Amino acid sequence: MTRPAKVVHLTSFHPPLDTRLFYREIRTVAAAGYDVVLIAPGERDEVVDGVPIRAIPRSRSRLGRLLTTIWQVHSAALREGARLYHFHDPELIPVGVLLKLCGKRVIYDVHEDVPRQLRTWYFIPAALRGPLAALTEAVERLAARVFDGVVVATPAIAARFPGPKTVTVQNFPIADELAAPWALPYADRSAVLAYVGGTSEIRGIKEMVEAMGLLPEGLGARLKLGSAGFVPPELGDEVRRMPGWRRCELLGWQDRAGVARLLGEAKAGLVVLHPTRNHIDSYPVKLFEYMAAGIPVIASDFPIWRDVVEGAGCGLLVDPLDATAVARAIRRLLEDPAEAEAMGRRGRETVHTTYNWTAQGRKLVAFYAWLLG
């Protein structure tokens, strides 16, 4: 009997149970029969859903990851003696190259368009952002020629990599993952709005909070934020001084069950990211998660987002820089619950038929078979 091929996933940054990395990709390839191991920062070794997780010490700084963590990942990876290594962070490109020099097969998984992100990162001096973005893009392009395959999260990212060995595996939700059995019937829910994700300026936190302050008192609206905190931290001080903050609640980071609970009590989900190039050219995961949970969306009016929202009839589009427009959309959904519920229902149906993980997972499994064939 042939032993299953061993595959090791590597990350120096993501938590072990990262949604894309573990719950979608790793569980999918493990279910397809591969012997899968994950090496990730953590407190201890453990086994989750039959997948061994080898913990490496978690660094508290970016410099620490570059000087120490990535080499710990490399050492742990070599000890596994796998046929295929699948890594998830651009800082691990040197590790991928070294694994190739050892005769291993290597996949680079590109979750985000990092060169575009670098142009907006507040902690990098403005004069360095452009050159650093250009250097990062050049390094990724050169490294991709060395690796056996590249997995990307969006078609826009795919355009930067060699076509014959690049596969687009979009980060669509598992269809029923967030349809919690304990979810309240829509008509019984209070006027709760949900946001899941990072709370930074370019993700629209100011506009969301300002919009809450513009709503009539009688609506009783509340915004619940499933987020670990503000980036940068001082942004939190500014946001908490805004009048709308009294109608907001910061819940902290939420695991998958926590996200399901939040969306299971919400009347609508907000995704009003600012029009940076990285946002305009990519699908936000939270958009499809709101749809999967059966709640209407209030989303930035970007062309590819418009195709989804208008095509499904699952929500309202707004100018993300206009808090008044965001408030108007919230008010419309809360004051017309029958239409809002119908939008949520259409969104869930569209996830089941089109925007779900099943087809994406099949592409990943087929890519593995091609690389190891």
133-147 pLDDT, tens digit each: 888 888 888 888 999
| pLDDT of 149 | 95
Q: Which two tokens stand for residue 214?
A: 């513009």
The Cα–Cα gap between 356 and 174 comes to 6
Total number of residues shown for the chain: 373
Checking if the pLDDT of 4 tops 90, the result is no
The Cα–Cα gap between 238 and 104 comes to 50
| pLDDT of 180 | 65
In this structure, the strands spanning 84-87 and 6-10 are parallel
255-271 pLDDT, tens digit each: 888 999 999 999 999 99
Query: Are the CB atoms for 266 and 194 separated by under 8 Å?
Result: yes
Query: Are the CB atoms for 317 and 306 separated by under 8 Å?
Result: yes
The Cα–Cα gap between 74 and 39 comes to 10
273-330 pLDDT, tens digit each: 999 887 888 889 899 999 999 999 999 999 999 999 999 999 999 999 999 999 999 9
| pLDDT of 135 | 85
Mean of the per-residue pLDDT values of the chain: 92
Q: Which residue has the higher pLDDT, 156 or 291?
A: 291
pTM score: 0.85
**Alpha-carbon distances of 96 from 149, 252, 288, 292, rounded to whole Å:** 11, 34, 31, 35
Q: Which residue has the higher pLDDT, 303 or 65?
A: 303
Q: Which residue has the higher pLDDT, 93 or 176?
A: 93
Amino acid letter, residue 187: A
1 band by pLDDT with thresholds 50, 70 and 90: very low
Checking if the pLDDT of 186 tops 80, the result is yes
| pLDDT of 130 | 81
Average pLDDT over residues 27-38: 96
Query: Are the CB atoms for 172 and 355 separated by under 8 Å?
Result: yes
Average pLDDT over residues 24-39: 96
221 band by pLDDT with thresholds 50, 70 and 90: very high
Domains annotated on the chain, with CATH: 6-172+356-372 (3.40.50.2000), 186-353 (3.40.50.2000)
Query: Are the CB atoms for 35 and 23 separated by under 8 Å?
Result: no
Instruction: Label residue 294 exposed, middle or buried (CB < 10 Å: 0-12, 13-18, 19+).
Output: buried
Q: Which two tokens stand for residue 205?
A: 């936190």
The Cα–Cα gap between 272 and 33 comes to 40
338-367 pLDDT, tens digit each: 999 999 999 999 999 999 999 999 999 999
Query: Are the CB atoms for 249 and 225 separated by under 8 Å?
Result: yes
The Cα–Cα gap between 33 and 20 comes to 19
Checking if the pLDDT of 61 tops 80, the result is no
In this structure, the strands spanning 297-300 and 268-271 are parallel
| pLDDT of 282 | 84
Amino acid letter, residue 115: P
Q: Which two tokens stand for residue 199?
A: 């709370």
The end-to-end CA distance of the chain, in Å, is: 17
Residues ≥6 apart with Cβ < 8 Å to 293? 178, 179, 180, 183, 260, 263, 264, 266, 269, 344, 348
| pLDDT of 181 | 67
Average pLDDT over residues 209-227: 97
Q: What 3-state DSSP class applies to 260?
A: helix
79-123 pLDDT, tens digit each: 999 999 999 999 999 999 999 999 999 999 999 877 777 777 767
**What is the residue whose two structure tokens read 């108007």?**
328
